[in-house]
Amino acid sequence: MENKIKITAIVPAYNVENYIVAAIDSLLNQTEKFHEIIIVNDGSTDNTGTLIDQYMDIAGIKIFHTSNNGQACARNFSLSRASGDYVYFFDSDDLLNADFVESMQALVHQKPEIDIIYFSGQSFLDDGCRLEYMPSYDRKIDMGWPSGIEATGFMLQRDMYFASPCLYLSKRALWDDKNLSFMNIVHEDEEIIMRLSCSAGMSLCLSKVFFKRRIRLESTMTLPKSKRNAIGYLYTLESIASYCNKNRVQVLPIKNDLVRRFYNILCGYFALCKAIDLRPEYKKLFTLLIELGRFPAPRQLYEMWVPAAFHARLSTVKRKLCK
């Protein structure tokens, strides 16, 4: 294939000495090579930095050591130094299929105007980790759209919209042209992916699994939630409300879908506040609802305030009554 597109992989790493080698090797063992792999050791206090440095002499790998500024800062740092046509954000404890680069290059070669490619992922449990619920990242369909707005609405309606940036390949110019970057908050993925997806032009969705997410102890997903999570939720809600307000005409076709996403996150915020005994920021939330231009329906109010355990029990009773 002539004129292969160049793909930059961006890998922030913090205290992942047990996983970083497998993660990097899955990026190196591609049937077609990444243009470059940018790895940022984000102030690790374990052996992560030493393990990363073992790759410094491999062509195409760029290694940086920074103080612990957080995953968002590490991604932004790398993005500003990326030189590929497309960028792929990868987590340092996960795995990537060997045909990822080759498949992405072939698709973009056929349609070079593609701004973003969505694909499926699969969860797996690390040794010693137990989880009642295994996250699913199944896109379920192979399809294309002329705009990211249409793609976002379609996936939101069908529970195929996932916030992890590891499930997207995006054109680097899209980040520059739309002045996109990660906020240094918890839940930064939820905040940025919505804006990225809605800002895209031609978009393509693949049902094939390329990404393997490791569910492990002491990861962002399994660590106990805190006030920082609540603050992250608030910033995300603010971002969605602001985006809908500033782009009223563009988002009008999917406004209802974005509003539903907003209220799903709001439910999560209220549930977290209850769990950690934190008073919700009612005044700020009211301001966001005004900016969003849509107040909750009675059912949404019910879902926000009735405990999840009662919801589950009520659903069970309903199923039994319907039998």
What are the DSSP calls for 284-307, one per residue? HHHHHHHHHT-PPPHHHHHHHHS-
309 lies in a domain?
A: yes
On whether both 174 and 269 belong to a single domain, the answer is no
94 lies in a domain?
A: yes
pLDDT for residue 128: 76
Instruction: Assess contact for 160 and 140: CB atoms under 8 A.
Output: yes
On whether both 11 and 101 belong to a single domain, the answer is yes
On whether both 165 and 233 belong to a single domain, the answer is no
Question: What is the pTM assigned to this prediction?
Answer: 0.89
On whether both 194 and 70 belong to a single domain, the answer is yes
On whether both 247 and 153 belong to a single domain, the answer is no
The Cα 250–Cα 244 span in angstroms is 9
Q: Is the pLDDT of residue 321 over 60?
A: no
Bigger pLDDT: 309 or 278?
278
220 lies in a domain?
A: no
On whether both 255 and 128 belong to a single domain, the answer is no
Bigger pLDDT: 137 or 304?
137
**Single residue among 215, 236, 265 that ends a domain in this structure:** 215
Report the SS3 class of residue 204.
strand
On whether both 137 and 26 belong to a single domain, the answer is yes
Domain count along the chain: 2
Average pLDDT over residues 16-32: 98
On whether both 157 and 207 belong to a single domain, the answer is yes
CATH number for the domain including 72? 3.90.550.10
CA-based angle 28:2:206, to the nearest 5? 60
pLDDT for residue 305: 52
pLDDT digits (tens, 9 = 90+) for 240-262: 999 999 999 999 999 999 999 99
On whether both 191 and 252 belong to a single domain, the answer is no
pLDDT digits (tens, 9 = 90+) for 167-210: 999 999 999 999 999 999 988 999 999 999 999 999 999 999 99
259 lies in a domain?
A: yes
Range with top average pLDDT, 97-106, 261-270, 285-294: 97-106
On whether both 109 and 254 belong to a single domain, the answer is no
**Single residue among 215, 236, 259 that ends a domain in this structure:** 215
The domain in which residue 77 lies consists of: 7-215
Average pLDDT over residues 53-78: 97
Average pLDDT over residues 86-99: 98
On whether both 257 and 188 belong to a single domain, the answer is no
On whether both 193 and 269 belong to a single domain, the answer is no
205 lies in a domain?
A: yes
Query: Which element (helix H / strand E) includes 244?
Result: helix 227-246
152 lies in a domain?
A: yes
The mean-pLDDT minimum among 47-51, 62-66, 154-158, 224-228 falls in: 224-228
Query: Residues for the chain: how many in total?
Result: 323
Burial of 15 (0-12, 13-18, 19+ CB in 10 A): buried
Phi, psi of 40 (to 5 degrees): -115, 115
Token output for 71: 């995953």
**Single residue among 176, 195, 215 that ends a domain in this structure:** 215
125 lies in a domain?
A: yes
pLDDT for residue 129: 76
